[in-house]
Amino acid sequence: MLQPLELLKKHWGYTEFRPKQEIIVRSILEGRDVAAIMPTGGGKSLCYQLPAAAMDRVSVVVSPLIALMQDQAAGLEIADIPAAVLNSSIPMGQQRDIMLRAERGELRLLYVSPERLVRDDVLQWLKRVPLGFFAIDEAHCISEWGHEFRPEYRKLRALREWFPDIPIAAFTASATRTVRHDIVAQLKLRDPAKITLSFHRPNLRYIVHECAAREQDKRLDAALRHYREGNIIVYAPTVNAVEETAALIRSKGIPAVAYHGQMDNAARRKHQEMWMTGEKRVLVGTLAFGLGINKPDVRAVIHLALPKSVEQYYQEAGRAGRDGEPADCTLLWQKRDAGLLVHFIQQLQDEEEKRRAWQRYHAIRKFVEGDQCRHRQICLYFGETPRWETCGACDVCAAKPEWLRGAAKAAVGSKLAAVEVQKTVARKAPAAVSPLRDKLKAWRKQQADEFGMPAFVILHDATIDALCEAAPATMDELRGVKGIGERKAEKFGRAILRVIAG
């Protein structure tokens, strides 16, 4: 059997793991239960995909997100790892084929929704499948203390009863200590390997600003004109607000698309793809957008309303700067947002649920109104105690950015942060304007259309940038480019070299 590092290079084209990934992978391969807390951008999906690829068995991934499951399965197939999604949107004949392939042990990963997995007929069928392990994604949904509790997740407790010898690996990006303990208890994890990455994202700058009535549109306009490179996510609180904000941004001559739950699947996929490939710079979405989205070069995430919890804010803001480069997370809130949250809490009938909602409400109010370092507040909320008191990368520890403060002179800290952003832009500019980059993106779109999958599954933008920088002329040189695994080189290598050669 190939070692984890060899598999990483073969299928994914990377020569080293991110922090803690290898520990998680090896724990799963040793047959241990795992409870992993990996903030957004930590490389969570690879932690269950790689050990599944290493096993001669079928590993089941539980996820609530159909689009994410489909994208991951498509990416695995491109990397020559047999994977499939089993859900109600697939024709019955195709579902039967997938189930037969699983029974014969021909798949390495099988993606299933929690609602489907906990059905008795599905659990009974899984008894006939040679199982490797269960990976529970978005595991915080199993806890009533979590900010996204889903009753169907609670039923996943049945996995331990039905399959006592099959390891379970639980993953989430945001969970307090209470939620972490609840995940372990609910899933009945046995002496799990507990791996928690730091909640501190030092490349992010947190900016919180309370807007007066009618001030928000002006602030948003200033922000969008400030961030001239990279992509942007704007979170709006309602479907109407999403549509109105997207229209407003387009009226200013900035390419933008809307994304929300009332759009049909095809339109949502199309808009997401236009944003992922850079055709549209700004995506305005509700909370329906973002889970599982792997786009590294988001330079700003802007919230136009008060989130209902610190967890929600951290998860959404964390979609900025996944490439490790500086990025801004700006929260433009109004007092009326708090009134709306209170209104919804008061509608809750269950007293325990209401009590937890009030706790989350008071925590987010403390976060936005407090005068403590934003990074430190987030770490403390999740049970991590930093050794530092100030970060130099939030509006409390440094000045607010110039676009938010108008014509006032920036403080030194703000100037330094702005310089860092400009450095990032300057570093990325050659690739961004490169004719070669445009040619590679055009080729990628053609391949994506041919295979019927999103363009980023064929090649990530980061891999296209790496190809522009390295300009490989041979297959050996191509294999040395980050993000080009052996299987991808075999499938697309010659074509990529032809595009580069011009």
Q: How far apart are CA 448 and CA 240, in angstroms?
A: 32
String of DSSP letters for 314-329: HHHHTTS-TTSS-EEE
Inter-helix orientation angle 435-451/486-501, to 10° = 130
Nearest Cα residue to 320 out of 238, 391, 408, 424: 424
Neighbouring CB atoms inside 10 A of 269's CB total 16
114-172 confidence digits (pLDDT tens)? 999 999 999 999 999 999 999 999 999 999 888 888 889 999 999 999 999 999 999 99
Question: What pTM does this model have?
Answer: 0.86
**Mean pLDDT, residues 265-279:** 86
Domain that holds residue 259: 204-409
| Statement: residue 469 has pLDDT above 50 | yes
The reply to whether 97 and 140 lie within a common domain is yes
Does a structural domain hold residue 175?
Answer: yes
Confidence of residue 180 (pLDDT cuts 50, 70, 90): very high
Q: Is residue 379 part of a domain?
A: yes
* Strand boundaries in 50-136, DSSP class E: 58-62, 83-86, 109-112, 131-136
**Residues 306, 333: Cα–Cα separation, whole Å:** 5
Q: Are 226 and 265 part of one and the same domain? A: yes
Q: How confident is the model at residue 261 (pLDDT cuts 50, 70, 90)?
A: confident
Q: Phi and psi for 29 in degrees, rounded to 5?
A: -65, -25
> Of 409, 425, 448, which residue sits at a domain end?
409
Q: Assess whether 113 and 186 both reside in one domain.
A: yes
Helices 44-54, 66-78: inter-axial angle, 10-degree rounding: 50
> Which of 165, 196, 227 is at the close of a domain?
196
pLDDT category of residue 406 using cuts at 50, 70 and 90: low
| Mean pLDDT value across residues 401-411 | 61
Average the pLDDT over each of 111-125, 137-151, 402-416, 430-444 and give the range with the smallest value: 402-416
Pair 220, 123 in one domain: no
How high is the pLDDT of residue 288?
60
Q: What is the crossing angle of helices 351-369 and 374-381, to 10°?
A: 160
- At 451, which CATH number? 1.10.150.80
Cα–Cα distance measured from residue 393 to residue 401, given in angstroms and rounded to the nearest whole number: 11
Domain total in the chain: 3
- Residue 384 in any domain: the answer is yes
Pair (166, 224) in one structural domain: no
β-pair partners for 283: 233, 257
- Residues in the chain, overall count: 502
How high does pLDDT run on average in the chain?
Answer: 89
Whether residue 38 is predicted with pLDDT greater than 70 in this model: the reply is yes
Same domain, 188 and 211: no
Residues 190 and 209 in one domain: no
One domain, residues 163 and 249: no
Residue type, 480: G
Distance, CA of 58 to CA of 134 (rounded, Å): 9
**For residue 422, pLDDT beyond 70:** no
CA angle at residue 149 from 114 to 284, to 5 degrees? 90
Alpha-carbon gap, residue 210 to 410, rounded angstroms: 19
For the chain, the maximum distance between any two Cα atoms, rounded to a whole number of angstroms, is: 69
Say if strands 83-86 and 34-37 run parallel, antiparallel, or are unpaired: unpaired
User: Looking at the structure, do residues 361 and 444 belong to the same domain, yes or no?
Assistant: no
Tell me how many degrees the CA angle 466-469-470 measures, rounded to the nearest 5.
85
One domain for residues 381 and 490: no
| 8 Cβ neighbours under 8 A, 6+ residues apart | 14, 15, 16, 17, 46, 50
Last residue of a domain, which of 196, 227, 249?
A: 196
pLDDT band at 27 (very low <50, low <70, confident <90, very high): very high
Higher pLDDT, 65 or 247: 247
- Report the pLDDT value the prediction gives residue 289, as an integer from 0 to 100: 65
Let me know if residue 415 belongs to a domain. no
Q: Can you say how many angstroms the Cα of residue 190 is from the centroid of all Cα atoms in its chain?
A: 28
* Angle at which helices 435-451 and 412-433 cross, to 10°: 70
**CATH code of the domain covering residue 47:** 3.40.50.300
Task: Check: CB of residue 365 under 8 Å from CB of residue 244.
Answer: no
What's the pLDDT tens digit per position in 300-358?
A: 999 999 999 999 999 899 999 988 889 999 999 999 999 999 999 999 998 999 999 99
Whether 421 is covered by a domain: the verdict is: no
Does residue 135 sit in the same domain as residue 189? yes
3-state helix, strand and coil shares in percent for the chain, rounded to the nearest 5 = 50, 15, 35
- Examine the pLDDT at 425 and tell me if it is beyond 50: no
From residue 228, alpha-carbon distances to 223, 232, 299, 390, 400 in Å are 9, 10, 9, 29, 18
Q: Is 414 domain-assigned? A: no
State whether the Cα torsion 450-454-459-463 is positive or negative.
positive
**Are 23 and 144 found together in one domain?**
yes
What pLDDT does 278 receive? 82
Does residue 89 sit within a domain? Answer: yes
Q: Does residue 416 form part of some domain?
A: no
Cβ partners under 8 Å of residue 268, min gap 6: 67, 259, 260
- Using a 10 angstrom Cβ sphere, with 0-12 exposed, 13-18 middle and 19 or more buried, the burial of residue 352 is exposed
